[in-house]
Amino acid sequence: MPDIIQLLPDHIANQIAAGEVIQRPASAVKELLENAIDAGATDIQLIVTDAGKGMVQVIDNGRGMSPTDARMAFERHATSKIKTIEDLFSLRTMGFRGEALASIAAVAQVELKTRRAEDELGTFIRIENSVVVQQEPVQCPVGTSISMKNVFFNVPARRNFLKSNTTELRNIIDEFTRVAMAFPEVKFGLTSNGQQVFALEKGSLKQRIVQLLGSQYNAKLVPIKEDTDYLTISGFVGKPETARKTRGDQYFFINNRFIKSAYLNHAVTHAYEDLLSKDSYPSYVLFIQLDPQHVDINVHPTKQEIKFEDEKIVYAFVQAAIKHALAQFSIAPSLDFSLNADIQQLDAVSKPVTDDIENKTISSSLYQTFTQKNQAHKIEPGGGLKPLPTSPLGRHWIDAKQQTDEIKKAAQHAAGLSSPPAGELEGAWQSELAKLREQLFEVSPKTQYADLEYEMRPVSREKRFQWIPETPLMQVHFAYIIAITNHGYLLINQQGAHERILYEQLQKAIFGKPIATQQSLFPVSIELQPGDAVLLTELLPDMQQLGYQVEPFGQHSFVIHGTPADVDSGNEQKAVEQILEHYKNFNAEVKFSRREKLVRTLAWQQSIKAGRSLSDKEMRSLVEQLFLCTVPNTTPGGKPTYVEYPLDQLQRTFG
């Protein structure tokens, strides 16, 4: 038998490596913009055609490259930014892996023009499939222009994997926004298919935020600025009234690098405590600067996740800084926070304080915030430590959940479904139990636990029970309705039931007669951030069919002319924002079509939620309509809409 292991040829190895770094045109945008920043550019222009599938080009006025460097730049692991592994921990550049240009050259046709100020002539290089097909001197301005054409032309499987142009353009705008936000001192432009989408003059961070996210933030930003010897925090948070139904405007930068961190996001949200309603998200643009040795940015191929040496201390600082700022602007009434016990153990907290550091620290307002409760640097070891406080909102949520769980348990118990004491679990009992479960939910056991309707079988029309319309209905805890049947009673989940009703109505409307629109007396205009604007544009035709009459108005603005009748006037903007947020966060293992996602989103959004008191008339109409549905027993998401408690079962329960 011959030996079978071979070394992969370079271009294939590069293509494989490219899979991590370049997943879509937007990934190339990020890498090229970051290279321009690293090259010290003060003017960076991004040009895309066909949502980047045709071309992505970045032109900068940075330091340029020598002819040899220009060639070297496309080799894998070729970088001018680090020389030793230690350099990784004192890094001040965006890039360091030396993979981006090699990856781009492996999956696209690339042209480079570059010149340094000291060179009279620049260099032109054309590369295809990792092979240099042309290199010659060229006249060009100082700086670098790199264009990537026909991405994945040589990897059709990946090209087919790309999403619609609107989606890919949205991704590009997101990446562009993240880089442009971090460098307000740099001029940026974005042109898509010949149309200028952004022209950002250099200016302050505040100006940049307003340019990128919209003028609704004007005069609504609270500045954050705290310096400590461990880290500094700066940036802005939105006043509570700018909180949005979408998670869109949340930006964290660590040493000017955009990162995603649910943990730090939690710190910010927490700082607002009950200034925000439960379903809204604070807007923020926050920059944390700290010594690069305290973070590891080499934990994720596109560097969007990082590891802090002391995650908890960053959390505490972020939270304190924001509380402090909100309080200063008389937005939050008090400065009440405590520190997690772990924080006290951290180096930065326990290390000796020199006079110099002490003086500097004492003068910072963050310090004063900390010492109001004699905490942080001044904590006596072992004394006065409390866990991080739970926000009132958090507590409510837990209470509500506990209550629901208890109600569920009680309900199951009443129906004889709670587990019998050990020892009694004889075979007969078990099969009885299983039968009962099925009967209760009228669905197959599989469906009972499935989240999605696609697995569900329709319920037979001849039901085992009938609701008796003449009997009284009763609402329980503003969430459930008790309805009497011919042999037992039903416990109906009001929100789930309404979602089912709306889902079936909207299903019909999207392919047939549109939902009636109620014209607004005063059309409401809304301004969205670019990514959301692209998404909404994509959804408009279907939304119109479902009763929303919304029209584009300028670049990222829309005017809401009408909504379905059950959206109260004054709530139009909130409704549209909720739709976008829910749509974007739609998580299902199954790929639904855009329409299906929209229908499900609207059914959820328009449904009456738990917590709403219902009149007798409303309850009656709800129950009536529920049983006119094709699949009355589950929500579109596959959860039960009601549980039946048959009389014979009740009798058995009570012996």
Q: Which residues bind ligand ADP (CB under 6 A)?
A: 31, 35-36, 38-39, 60, 62-65, 73, 78-81, 95-102, 144
Distances 625 to 456, 481, 483, 487, 622 between C-alpha atoms, Å: 20, 14, 14, 21, 5
Contact predicate 311/329, CB 8 Å = no
The residue at minimum Cβ distance from ligand ADP is 95
Q: Which does 574 bind (CB under 5 to 8 A by kind): ligand ADP, Mg ion, none?
A: none
CB of 99 to ligand ADP, least distance (A): 6
**Which residues, 6 or more positions from 109, have their beta carbon under 8 angstroms from its beta carbon?**
126, 127, 128, 148, 149, 150, 153
Q: Which does 202 bind (CB under 5 to 8 A by kind): ligand ADP, Mg ion, none?
A: none
CB of 91 to ligand ADP, least distance (A): 10
CB of 187 to Mg ion, least distance (A): 20
Contact predicate 350/298, CB 8 Å = no
CB of 99 to Mg ion, least distance (A): 8
Of 97 and 597, nearer to ligand ADP (C-beta) is 97
580 Rama class: left (phi>0) / alpha (psi -120 to 50) / beta = alpha
In the chain, % helix, strand, coil (3-state, to 5) comes to: 40, 20, 35
Q: How many Cα neighbours within 13 Å face the side chain of 209?
A: 23
Of 58 and 162, nearer to Mg ion (C-beta) is 58
Q: Which does 245 bind (CB under 5 to 8 A by kind): ligand ADP, Mg ion, none?
A: none
Amino acid letter, 96: F
**Which residues, 6 or more positions from 499, have their beta carbon under 8 angstroms from its beta carbon?**
603, 604, 607, 635, 636, 637, 641
The residue at minimum Cβ distance from Mg ion is 95
Of 7 and 117, nearer to ligand ADP (C-beta) is 117
Q: Is 11 exposed, middle or buried (0-12, 13-18, 19+ CB in 10 A)?
A: middle
Binding site for Mg ion (CB under 5 A): 35, 95, 100
CB of 10 to ligand ADP, least distance (A): 15
The three-point CA angle 508-633-473 to 5° equals 105
CB of 144 to Mg ion, least distance (A): 12
CB of 297 to ligand ADP, least distance (A): 12
CB of 57 to ligand ADP, least distance (A): 12
Farthest-apart Cα atoms in the chain, separation: 99
Q: Which does 36 bind (CB under 5 to 8 A by kind): ligand ADP, Mg ion, none?
A: ligand ADP
Q: Which does 238 bind (CB under 5 to 8 A by kind): ligand ADP, Mg ion, none?
A: none
Of 95 and 238, nearer to ligand ADP (C-beta) is 95
Of 80 and 165, nearer to ligand ADP (C-beta) is 80
Of 25 and 214, nearer to Mg ion (C-beta) is 25
d(CA 290, CA 313): 12
Q: Which does 81 bind (CB under 5 to 8 A by kind): ligand ADP, Mg ion, none?
A: ligand ADP
Of 33 and 348, nearer to Mg ion (C-beta) is 33
β-bridge pairing 143-149 and 55-60: antiparallel
d(CA 14, CA 29): 19
CB of 186 to ligand ADP, least distance (A): 13
Of 96 and 284, nearer to Mg ion (C-beta) is 96
Of 33 and 233, nearer to ligand ADP (C-beta) is 33
Report which of 61, 80, 60 is spatially closest to residue 70, judged by C-alpha positions. Answer: 80
Q: Which does 78 bind (CB under 5 to 8 A by kind): Mg ion, ligand ADP, none?
A: ligand ADP
Tokens of 167: 């989606």
H-run or E-run covering 601: helix 594-606
Residue 426: CB atoms within 10 Å: 10
